[in-house]
Structure 1
Amino acid sequence: MIDIVSSIRKLNREGQTLAIATVINTWKSSPRPIGSALIISENGEMTGSVSGGCVEGAVVKKAVEIIKSGKAEVVHFGITDDDAWEVGLSCGGALDVFVQPFYPEAIWTTMDELLNQDEGFMLLSTLEDNPQYSIIKANGKTTGATFEKSLLPELEQAFHEGDSKVLSSGNHFVQVFPKKPVMLLVGSAHITVELTELAHMFGFETILIDPRATFASKTQYRVKPQTIHVEWPQEVLPHLKLDKDTYAVILSHDPKIDDEALKILLKSEVAYIGALGSRKTHAKRVERLKEYGFSSEEINSIHAPIGIDIGSKLPREIALSVMAEVIKVKNGGGK
């Protein structure tokens, strides 16, 4: 749903009556994951996707009905349904879509504030014709409707795993809104320019660290990193939150900079560390890290040579391969 927030804000400013359709269950080769959403206006305009085009027409038709009736509904689409071919779901998968009038103003206002503040939270909805909504913040505080405390263990697990899902009760859907992932860029170079633009495109917050003022401040970025530190990594990194939502990319080509960053990052909980350089360059890096006292297991956690092998030569191609590798790790893929 994050990808349609700007459209929701625009439609709300225009005063349009809206419905929202959210994928709440999928089976087999369903084309869109749970939590994918489609916003529909009263005149049938839509933004977002619940199936990549397979069932959008039927969902929009249902949404327009629901805008008029004010009653939410869970709609099932699958190849075994009589109308499956009619709506175009021929991939062999199936999905449940919760189509509902747009959230009450108080709920959406709180959601919008939390999204602006980049605070992780969950939205708990009852799957009924008149849904009740609860917002559970990362600190455990709740707003909106009350809910049974017996749901808390499942909610905590969902938030920890980042998984939106129908709870075991069968009549509650929790949608997880994690905070933005962070791409930490060490070293300003041509590849950094391209990678920063891609990172923004995929919803990452970007932080650049480079003690070389000429490189950090004078490089011509089409999309600038949101934060720029013209300092050494060892001066900045201890003050940053280096957690599982952080993806670090080492790009300076200068061991004096790269090694200082790696010394800290290898002892942190970041989700990804990638380092630019050829196999020969990385072999020398490995020897230096061994001399610093790092274990083979720690060193092997570095993605190097960086990026998925697509035969990259140009900075933009290398950046694309790095972005693909970061997304692979973020989505649960291995090294």
Structure 2
Amino acid sequence: MQDILPQIRERLENSQELAMATVVRTWRSAPRPVGSALVVNDQGDMIGSVSGGCVEKSVVNKALKVLGGEPSELVHYGVSNDDAWEVGLSCGGKVDVFIERFLGSGSEQEQALWQQLDQDLANNRGVVLAREVGAGHRQFALAYADGSAVGELPDAIMVAALAALEARESRIMESEGGNWFLQVFPEKPQMLLIGSAHITSELIHLAKLYGFATHVIDPRDTFATKTDYPTEPDSLTVSWPQEILPNLTLNANTYAVILSHDPKIDDEALKILLRQPVAYIGALGSKKTHAKRIARLTDAGFSDDELGKIHAPIGMPINARLPQEIALSVLAEIIKVKNEVPA
């Protein structure tokens, strides 16, 4: 849903009544993942997707009925002898789609919950939107990593919501009291860019497209403030890495890219990052440059295991030459690391 938030906000500002269809469960090669959403107004105009086009017509028709007063509905779509040519998933997958009146178009209490969720997303706060799924059901709550909640949740559902948030994975929770869909909105992954240059600018642009929050750190005022950023980073700090990094949350949601080409900057950043549980560390430079870097860090007391965390030469091997090509190769490598399933 986050990918269509701007359009949702615009429609709500224009006082449009909205229904939302959400993929809550999938089997086999479903075209869209769990959590994918489609929003429909009372004119049948839609944004988003739940199947890439296979079942959207049927979903829109059912969404219009919900806007007309019919209860919310959990609908199963797949390929069968009866519906394969009319409405189905040609990929052979199956999906469950929950169709309901959109939270922001509901009661005053529901609208208040939507406003809180919207604020959480704008502030990059991890949150779970928990809602009961079934015909006519309208029970919602928000759950947070610290165990707090907005709205009421059964204890078992709260425990499941926290587990889903930690796993960064939306899921159905089945219980005797009813089934709940736990839609996870994790914090955006944080990309730290040490050094400001043309590649930094290109990488920020691409990273934003793929949901990263971007933070540039460079003590060189000429580079930090004079670089042209067509897409602005979320933050830009003119300071040495060793002055800033100890004050940041560096965890498995952090992806660090070392780009300054200056050992006085790069090495100091690496000395901190290598001993933090970050997800990724990549460093720009040739094999010769990296060998010299390894020698300096070895002399500084870092082990082979620690130094093995550095991805260098940085990026996927696509023979990148231009800054935008290098940026693409770096982001591809980061996404590969981010999407790897732990053993």
Is TM more than 0.5 here?
A: yes
2:176 matches 1:138 = no
| Matched residue SS, 2:285 | coil
Q: 1:96 aligns to what?
A: 96
Using a 3 Å threshold, how does the CA distance of structure 1 residues 264 and 301 change in structure 2: closer, same or farther?
same
> How do residues 1-335 of structure 1 correspond to structure 2 at under 5 angstroms?
1-80=1-80, 82-103=82-103, 104-128=110-134, 129-144=136-151, 146-169=152-175, 171-332=179-340
Instruction: Report % sequence identity.
Output: 53
CA distance in 2, matches of 1:78, 1:317: 40
CA distance in 2, matches of 1:56, 1:332: 30
Deviation at 1:100, TM superposition (A): 0.7
Q: 2:106 aligns to what?
A: none
Higher mean displacement: 242-251 or 290-299 = 290-299
Residues 189-244 of structure 1: CA deviation (Å, up to 9, x unaligned)? 11111001111222222111111111111111111222111111111111111122
Tell me if structure 2 keeps the 8 A contact 1:36–1:50.
yes
Using a 3 Å threshold, how does the CA distance of structure 1 residues 333 and 274 change in structure 2: closer, same or farther?
farther
Higher mean displacement: 86-95 or 38-47 = 86-95
Deviation at 1:181, TM superposition (A): 1.6
Question: Any runs of at least 4 consecutive aligned residues in structure 1 with deviations exceeding 4 A, and if so which?
Answer: none
CA distance in 2, matches of 1:159, 1:174: 9
CA distance in 1, matches of 2:325, 2:274: 27
Deviation at 1:88, TM superposition (A): 4.8
TM-score (norm 1): 0.95
Deviation at 1:84, TM superposition (A): 3.2
CA distance in 2, matches of 1:241, 1:81: 53
| Matched residue SS, 1:6 | helix
Deviation at 1:97, TM superposition (A): 0.7
Tell me if structure 1 keeps the 8 A contact 2:145–2:162.
no
| Matched residue SS, 2:261 | coil
Higher mean displacement: 37-46 or 304-313 = 304-313
**Structure 2 residue identity aligned to 1:217:** T
Tell me if structure 2 keeps the 8 A contact 1:237–1:261.
yes
CA distance in 2, matches of 1:143, 1:41: 27
**Structure 2 residue identity aligned to 1:105:** Q
**Structure 2 residue identity aligned to 1:254:** D
Residues 106-136 of structure 1: CA deviation (Å, up to 9, x unaligned)? 2211111211222111111101222200111
Using a 3 Å threshold, how does the CA distance of structure 1 residues 155 and 48 change in structure 2: closer, same or farther?
same
CA distance in 2, matches of 1:58, 1:280: 59
**Structure 1 residue identity aligned to 2:44:** G
Tell me if structure 1 keeps the 8 A contact 2:143–2:162.
no
**Structure 1 residue identity aligned to 2:250:** L
Tell me if structure 2 keeps the 8 A contact 1:119–1:138.
no
CA distance in 1, matches of 2:37, 2:84: 20
Tell me if structure 2 keeps the 8 A contact 1:310–1:321.
yes
CA distance in 2, matches of 1:265, 1:220: 27
CA distance in 1, matches of 2:46, 2:118: 20
TM-score (norm 2): 0.93
How many corresponding residue pairs?
333
**Structure 2 residue identity aligned to 1:57:** K
CA distance in 2, matches of 1:36, 1:76: 15
CA distance in 2, matches of 1:262, 1:5: 36
Tell me if structure 2 keeps the 8 A contact 1:155–1:174.
yes
Tell me if structure 2 keeps the 8 A contact 1:77–1:84.
no
Deviation at 1:151, TM superposition (A): 2.5
